[in-house]
Amino acid sequence: MRHPVANMALSPWPRYHPAMSAASLPHRRMDAEEFLAWAQTQPGRYELAGGEVFAQASERAAHAKIKGRVYLALHNAVAANKLPCHALPDGMAVRIDADTVFEPDAQLYCGPELAPDALLVESPIVVVEVLSPSTGKNDALRKLSAYFRVASVMHYLIVSPDERLIFHHARGEGGAILTRVIRDGTIMLEPPGLGLSLESIYGA
């Protein structure tokens, strides 16, 4: 089996740090618990897919800016609607299954606040990924399917950093995923019961 960094062109999870060498990553498969224990001791950001560890690439300024605005928009919408929910920026993981762990660019969960030393959001309701040149296909296809395997996830937003454009995927009846392409106005996220305006992310 080739190491994921050594096989970059063929990998289905193509978010890599350009300076990362194959020797820098674990050469054995991990489960979610092993990965979380390992990742918190490492510099940089990583994800686990099918038991293999992948380093995440450096971000463009446009990506980082929109990611921050999405988090603030979610945070402010929760406060405005007085919901018992919590918005988080990147840094917190979501476990898809026993050997797959993602780190969305922003997310929202409801209920009691997580413990200060928590590493996972066990029941996210909204997850967000900001598009980048290296992850577009992955975010739109593989992560779309994976996130909705988490029973609590009701909305998956894929956000463009380069144009006023958000893909809103929502859980429907009977396992259906309903998709809307939104360029203006407000995205209604029900549950938990809030509106996310594109103006709050992209400006007027």
Segment 79-97 shows an average pLDDT of: 97
Q: Considering the chain, what is the average pLDDT of its residues?
A: 88
Asked if 58 and 17 count as a contact pair (C-beta separation under 8 A), the reply is: yes
Percent of the chain with pLDDT strictly greater than 90: 76
Minimal CA–CA distance to 11: which of 56, 42, 43, 41? 56
pLDDT per position as a tens digit, 89-143: 999 999 999 999 999 999 999 999 999 999 999 999 999 999 987 666 777 788 9
Q: How many CA atoms lie within 13 A of 165 on its CB side?
A: 6
pLDDT per position as a tens digit, 5-35: 333 333 344 443 333 444 468 878 999 999 9
Q: 3-class SS at 148?
A: coil
Other beta carbons less than 10 A from residue 180's beta carbon: 11
| Structural domains of the chain, ranges and CATH numbers in brackets | 61-202 (3.90.1570.10)
CA distances from 169 to 8, 129, 180, 181 (A): 28, 12, 7, 9
Segment 166-186 shows an average pLDDT of: 96
Handedness of CA 29, 32, 33, 35 (dihedral sign): positive
